[in-house]
Amino acid sequence: MWERYEPRKMVYVFCRETDETEQHEDYRDRTEMNEDPLRTGDLTLTLTQPRQEDSGEYRCLVWRRGDFIRKKSVLLTVRGLSQVEEGGEEAQVDPLMMRRVY
Domains in the chain: boundaries? 2-79+94-98
For residues 86-94, give the mean pLDDT: 51
Mean of all residue pLDDT scores within the chain: 77
d(CA 1, CA 52): 22
Q: How far apart are CA 89 and CA 101, in angstroms?
A: 37
Most confident region among 16-25, 62-71, 86-95 by mean pLDDT:
62-71
User: What are the tens digits of pLDDT across the range 2-11?
Assistant: 889 888 898 9
pTM > 0.75: no
Return the exposure string of 76-97: e unless at least 16 CB atoms fall within 10 Å of the residue's CB, then b.
Answer: bebeeeeeeeeeeeeeeebeee
Check whether the bond before 37 is cis (ω within 30° of 0): no
How far is Cα 49 from Cα 95, in angstroms, rounded to an integer? 10
